[in-house]
Homo-oligomer: A and B are copies of this chain.
Amino acid sequence: MDAVVLLSGGLDSYTAAAVAKAEGFRLFALTIRYGQRHVREVEAARLVARALDVARHVELDVDLSAFGGSSLTTADPVPKERAIDRAEIPSTYVPARNTVFLAIALGWAEVLGAGDLVIGVNALDYSGYPDCRPEYLAAFERLANLATRAGVEGARFRIHAPLLHLSKADIIRRGLALGLDYGLTHSCYDPEPDGRPCGRCDSCQLRAAGFSQAGIPDPALRR
């Protein structure tokens, strides 16, 4: 069975993809260059796609920075050392990003004849983005079956979010149990000019807390 997986180059999407692979899916990986300041993550996505031995890896440009509206796609500062409060949506939220990504993944899946989409969203150790919540994913799944020829003809799309209810530490434990090399991944929203993580954005904080709680050093910090 084939599945389209959204691969950002970060820790979560790598793990979600690996879980799907362990379940027997052949993976078609999709990475979007959306005008993110941390386009460095796309290099990580290439390494991850290779490590996962995906059937095909497509990198696609969709320049959401044409609209702005996020500190990830504009010159607005990325918040640092923020007390992460899931009730507040931070400036790193990119309007409709997951909807755009899932829509493109859906198009590819339909062409492939694949009924499964995999996304590494997490609703526990996350920044409170609306498009990471279970009710959002359920609504997209419903949409997918109305939007497509396959849906009309009786196929059934499923959105797999295997990390949805896991803590970051549990995600890391799960990935390590699957033999993943997290040294390949990049999480930082606002890397230093040399590509190293800033250590202070939400994404760095969540990652560091996860490795800390799992009691494991982050292999990406050794490089």
Q: Which residues of A contact B (CB under 8 A)?
A: 58, 60-64, 66-69, 89, 93-100, 102-104, 106-108, 110-112, 130-131, 133, 135-136, 139-140, 142-144, 146-149, 151-152
Contact = CB atoms under 8 A, between A and B. Distances in A.
Given A100-B103, A106-B99, A110-B96, A58 B67 contact: yes
Nearest to A113: B69
A148 B95 contact: yes
- Nearest 4 CB-CB pairs, A to B? A69-B111, A96-B107, A95-B110, A99-B103
Contact of A103 (B103, B133, B135): B103
Contact of A130 (B58, B63, B147): B147
A107 B111 contact: no
B63 A61 contact: yes
* Residue of A66, A67, A110 with most chain B CB atoms under a 10 A cut-off: A67
A142 B141 CA distance: 12
A50 B202 CA distance: 42
Contact of A149 (B58, B95, B98, B147): B95
